[in-house]
Amino acid sequence: MRKVNDQDLMNPISPAVKELQQLLGESNVLWRPDDLRVYSYDGSNNMATPDLVVLPSTASQISRIIKLARRYNMAIVPRGSGTGLCGAITPIAGGIMIVFARMKQILNIDLENRTALVEPGVINLDVSTALAPYRYFYAPDPSSQAACSIGGNVANNSGGPHCLLYGVTANHVLGIEVVLEDGEIVWLGGAAPDEQGYDLVAAFIGSEGTLGIITKILVRIMPLPETTRTLLAVFNTIEQASRTVSGVIGAGIIPAAIEMIDGTTIRAVEAAYNIGLPLDADAVLLIEVDGPKAGIDELQQMLADFCIEYGARDVRIARNEQERADLWKARKTALGALGRLAPNYYIQDGVVPRSKLPYVLEQQDAIAKKYNVTIANVLHAGDGNLHPNILFDAREQGAYERVRQVGGEILKLCVKVGGTISGEHGVGIEKLDYMPLLFTPADLDAQARLRDAIAPTRILNPCKMLPQGSRCGEVTKSNLPSAIAGNTDVWI
């Protein structure tokens, strides 16, 4: 029997908790402060504590949870693996957080129709692992794919290195089961290639849980390419590497991936993993091509020649699967390696036209010098998706506010050159203030009208995506579904 402590005596079980325990079982309802604290943050620098955390196993249970939340006037916040980087799951209105740790089954693999039906808690990489014996894979591959969930990927329309060739999550989701805010369970889309009617699946992808709670996902799967080749091009300047990206794409070659790692990140990765990257390089490009064996050698050589033409001092070609894995390890573990340079980083993911990469990276360097900060860059360079990591120490007074200013200036720069404020991380709460850079008040109102048509009470992940002043954003401390004014554990 568990010992009763002072914390238990100070937190009597509420009627809502009792009802949820009857529905889900006591072990699947968390309400003690120490338990809730675990779910108060994601991969961003934002923190807020939910009032309750529940771990359902079925869509039917989620339907009943939502109905209960409406009766008690509580917000609903869905959470996958907590790897998000824009604060999309930060429960700033408190409420009930629905965690999908119990909903992580691959329900069906249909090779004939090239689909797989999965639950939202399934880890991204686990799908490709399950498909590997059949020589199939799931294409979207965020850098956090070993940890992030498919449900979270759908909520934020996540990308990844290989989305240059294969497309983002939206290009690989065919249908979804959704629980709406009144508790109704509906199916949208399906395996047929040309569904009739409005494309509501597309509306839900990237909606960050504001329209409904996704409980099943039908994804497109693809045959593994016959062969894959990976190159590492080494450059003395980041400008040379940037111009190479535009040169390759402009020549009509679309690799599976073109990733860039700058010198600051190279040195952090080498200190952590000793992969063999050149410590004196200002940038490297990781380029991968795949497809039929016929012609792959010629394509590989063509890419190497392009890199040399644009200034690469060396081009290395992975000779085997281990060398290829090592090169990708440098990219996939880059963010973790930055911990050797600073205790914290603030990441952005603006997007710019590829031709603007040299100019934007030069201006970004000027911004870093203006604010006296270090920026470590890793980029999905092939599609112009920046990932500037602004290093800082959160213990220093005003440091977080300063790096947020830096991030804001970078996003404004992206929009100025014809880009946008997010390539894959989403809007969440991090980028609310920058939505008006992209959309007029009428644009934002149109989006808010869609949200009001589907989820009019706004209890689903409130205060996300659309800024104050738009129809969804008329949410203040006085009318939040769960009073944020009483939530003292909020850091934004």
DSSP string, 53-88: EE--SSHHHHHHHHHHHHHTT--EEEESSS--SS-T
Supply the pLDDT for residue 488.
37
pLDDT the model gives residue 322:
92
Of 14-18, 52-56, 188-192, where does mean pLDDT reach its minimum?
188-192
Query: And the tokens for 170?
Result: 């939206």
pLDDT on residue 2: 37
Among 446, 445, 442, 453, which residue's Cα sits nearest to residue 474? 445
Q: How many CB atoms lie within 10 A of CB 393?
A: 10
Does domain 227-336 match CATH 3.30.70.2190? yes
Class level of CATH domain 106-223? alpha beta
Note the residue count of the chain. 492
pTM more than 0.75: yes
pLDDT digits (tens, 9 = 90+) for 272-326: 999 999 999 999 999 999 999 999 999 999 999 999 999 999 999 999 999 999 9
pLDDT at 13: 81
Instruction: Read off the pLDDT of each residue in 11-25 and give the average, rounded to a whole number.
Output: 90
Percentage of residues in the chain having pLDDT higher than 90:
89
Q: What is the DSSP letter of 433?
A: G
Structural contact between residues 452 and 59, judged by C-beta atoms closer than 8 angstroms? no
- pLDDT, average across residues 436-440: 96
Across all residues in the chain, what is the average pLDDT?
Answer: 92
What does the alpha-carbon distance between residue 52 and residue 20 come to, in Å, rounded to a whole number? 10
Q: Cα separation of 378 and 263, whole Å?
A: 10
Helix (H, G, I), strand (E, B) or coil at 23: helix
Can you give the pLDDT at residue 475?
A: 40
Q: Give the residue among 6, 36, 51 at the shortest CA–CA distance from 487.
A: 51
* The two structure tokens encoding residue 199: 């494309």
**Beta 52-54 vs 96-99: how paired, if at all?**
parallel
Residue 11: which pLDDT band, with cuts at 50, 70 and 90? low
Indicate if the pLDDT at residue 486 is higher than 80.
Answer: no
Give the model's pLDDT for residue 266: 97
CA atoms within 13 A on the CB side of 301: 4
Runs of H (alpha helix) within 211-283: 238-250, 263-273
Please name the residues in contact with 289: beta carbons below 8 A apart, sequence gap of 6 or more: 228, 229, 255, 256, 296, 299, 300, 303
Token couple for 409? 């200036």
203 burial (CB, 10 Å; 0-12 / 13-18 / 19+) is middle
Is residue 15 pLDDT above 50, yes or no?
A: yes
Confidence band (pLDDT; 50, 70, 90) for 195? confident
pLDDT of residue 4: 37
Domain locations in the chain? 106-223, 227-336, 342-416
Q: Quick: pLDDT tens for 23-52.
A: 999 999 999 999 999 999 999 999 999 999
Residues whose CB is less than 8 angstroms from the CB of residue 55 and which lie 6 or more positions away in sequence, other chains included: 24, 28, 29, 30, 99, 100, 101, 102
**How much is the pLDDT for 344?**
95
Confidence class for position 12, pLDDT limits 50, 70, 90: low
Question: For tokens 């804001």, what's the residue?
Answer: 408
Whether residue 105 is predicted with pLDDT greater than 70 in this model: the reply is yes
What's the pLDDT at 191? 87
Which amino acid is present at 468? Q
Tell me if 106-223 shares its fold with 342-416: no
pLDDT-wise least confident of 82-96, 364-378, 416-430, 467-481: 467-481
Q: How far apart are CA 343 and CA 340, in angstroms?
A: 8
Q: What are phi and psi of 147, to 5 degrees?
A: -125, -30
CATH architecture for the domain at 342-416: 2-Layer Sandwich (3.30)
CA neighbor of 90 nearest in space, from 467, 456, 461: 461
Structure confidence at residue 469 (pLDDT): 53
